[in-house]
Amino acid sequence: MQPHDQTEIGTSPAPGQAALAQSNSDRLLLTAEEVSAVTGYVKPALQVRELHKQGFIRARVNVRNEVILERAYFDAICRGVAVATQAAPERPRIVPPLRRAA
């Protein structure tokens, strides 16, 4: 009987773990480690302030005190692509009625 080659055992992920093995580029949001690497800070408030200074105005902190920054937005800003933001709807112009001359 030959010994098993250890490199062959367990090389393919289990069916349920295939989705967990996704790379960071597949995630919707930047991870805490990525945000820390970009900003150089650990505290979320300082991270958001630094991200805003760098032009990432959509960065924010959620209720769990985590920095939220969408990966697609981050990549677009890094590439220099203009990102459309929702502008405030234009308010209707109110024109006062004209008065008749006396």
pLDDT tens digits, 70-82? 999 999 999 988 6
Inter-residue long-range contacts of 30-36, CB under 8 Å, 24+ positions, other chains counted: 30/67, 30/69, 30/70, 30/71, 30/74, 32/66, 32/67, 35/67, 35/69
Residue 19 has pLDDT above 70, yes or no: no
Asked if residue 89 lies in contact with residue 82, where contact means CB atoms within 8 angstroms, the answer is: no
Tokens of 35: 């945000």
All structural domains of the chain with their residue ranges: 24-79
**Its pTM surpasses 0.75:** no
Asked if residue 26 lies in contact with residue 71, where contact means CB atoms within 8 angstroms, the answer is: no
- Alpha-carbon distances, residue 39 vs 43, 47, 63 (angstroms): 10, 6, 20
